[in-house]
């Protein structure tokens, strides 16, 4: 039976598409970048650690993909001007942007609400929410220029139901869902779709930080949850907007 979570796209269905992936150097973002590159997209790799982005760049090119773009950027310090400059560069090189995967996030410190420091609150909200607001706002003009565009945000189970000790991270994921829904409503009946993916427990560095004692062998790998990421970038198959989808439904 067809589900989005077992979707197999047509080969190279992303030919002539340009897709920006944040946090493309590691974990889920790395796999998304590799998969989009394998299907013909020109991927713009945004992340903090240049060496990781270069390694993903090499892997995409070695797999026969288009030469990716690299945007080394720390979302914690980036300003609106950084995002406007990036949008202008993408516009000059590619004319438009067909896809945007907001994937980069930080976990911050887990602990009681009473002990959340103002700095941790601001850092987590800056990376997980404010940077997505500024980046999306700057990129809207070139997303509008694409015949069809897909913007995917990344939420979490703790962004659907608040959980003790997950403070700023949990709250930031509620805000992410809110941002996606506001945009989807504003852009209803337009050429841009906005959705959220909840990856579910996935074997990455962030998961290991959140659950240091767990045996990670039972977790899905980032590569295993890619069908939903591929589906939502498929303008032929996907018409959904304003929705949140589980990559690993119960």
Kindly state the tokens that stand for 72. 């080394």
Q: How far is CA 245 from the centre of its chain?
A: 13
195 touches ligand NAP (CB under 6 A): no
Among 71, 86, 124, 127, binds ligand NAP (CB under 6 A): 127
Contact letters (x/-) for ligand NAP, 72-111, by CB under 6 A?
A: -xxxx--------------------------xxxx-----
CA–CA dist 83, 236 (Å, integer): 29
CA–CA dist 246, 250 (Å, integer): 9
Among 156, 181, 195, 238, binds ligand NAP (CB under 6 A): 156
Strands 99-101 and 69-72: what pairing?
A: unpaired
At 246 the three-state DSSP class reads: strand
Which of 57, 169, 229, 231 is an active site residue?
Answer: 169
168 touches ligand NAP (CB under 6 A): no
What's the CA dihedral at 49, 52, 54, 60 to 10 degrees?
A: -140
205 touches ligand NAP (CB under 6 A): yes
CB of 103 to ligand NAP, least distance (A): 5
Q: Which residues bind ligand NAP (CB under 6 A)?
A: 23, 25-29, 47-49, 52, 73-76, 103-106, 127, 154, 156, 199, 201-202, 204-207
């Amino acid at each position: 039976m067809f589900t989005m979570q077992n979707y197999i796209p047509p080969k190279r269905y992303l030919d002539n598409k340009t897709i920006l992936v944040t946090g493309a150097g590691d974990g889920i973002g790395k796999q998304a970048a590799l998969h989009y590159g394998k299907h013909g997209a020109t991927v713009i790799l945004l992340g903090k650690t240049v060496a990781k982005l270069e390694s993903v760049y090499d892997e995409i090119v070695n797999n026969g993909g288009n030469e990716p773009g690299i945007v080394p950027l720390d979302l914690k310090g980036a300003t609106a001007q950084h995002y406007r400059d990036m949008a202008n560069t993408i516009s000059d090189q590619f004319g438009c942007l067909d896809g945007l995967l907001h994937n980069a996030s930080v976990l911050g410190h887990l602990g009681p609400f009473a002990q959340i420091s103002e700095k941790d609150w601001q850092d987590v909200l800056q990376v997980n929410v404010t940077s997505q607001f500024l980046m999306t706002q700057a990129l809207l003009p070139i997303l509008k220029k694409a015949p069809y565009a897909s913007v995917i945000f990344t939420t979490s189970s703790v962004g659907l139901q608040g959980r003790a000790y997950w403070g700023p991270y949990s709250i930031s994921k509620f805000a992410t869902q809110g941002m996606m829904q506001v945009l989807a409503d504003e852009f209803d009946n337009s050429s841009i779709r906005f959705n959220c993916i909840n990856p579910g427990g996935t074997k990455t560095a962030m998961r290991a930080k959140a659950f240091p004692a767990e045996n990670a062998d039972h977790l899905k790998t980032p590569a295993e949850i890619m069908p939903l990421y591929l589906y939502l970038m498929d303008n032929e198959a996907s018409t959904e907007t304003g929705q949140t989808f589980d990559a690993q439904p119960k």
